[in-house]
Amino acid sequence: MPKKSSSTSAKVLYRPFGLAGSIVGGLLAGAIFKQVWKQAAPGPKADPPGPLETEYPLREILIAAAIQGAIYSVVKTVIDRQGARMFERATGEWPGS
């Protein structure tokens, strides 16, 4: 696939959109993770464990962190990519490198 070129002005103009997308993506990923954890969590605790909570074993904390990281990465990638495509449709320029 050919690499899309980008001008410096497109990169600068896209920054506010990219920042807003990152914020929305973080919020969305957090909400998705909480729902996934509620379905996957063993026992009555519906909230995911934090790294400093002593009532959870380390294994469960690491599993929660891995799931959260994977969900965040996928959501951020989808939002970044779709945001760049929308920007390209609106301006005719790809905002990336």
Query: How crowded is residue 79: how many other Cβ atoms within 10 Å of its Cβ?
Result: 20
Rounded to 5 degrees, φ, ψ at 41 are -70, 130
Q: Can you read off the two tokens belonging to residue 76?
A: 């951020």
Distance separating alpha carbons of residues 15 and 3, to the nearest angstrom: 20
What pTM was computed for the model?
Answer: 0.80
Q: Residue 7's pLDDT band (boundaries 50, 70, 90)?
A: confident
Q: In the prediction, which pLDDT does 13 show?
A: 87
Q: For 26-80, write each residue's pLDDT tens digit.
A: 999 999 999 999 888 767 767 888 899 898 899 989 999 999 999 999 999 999 9
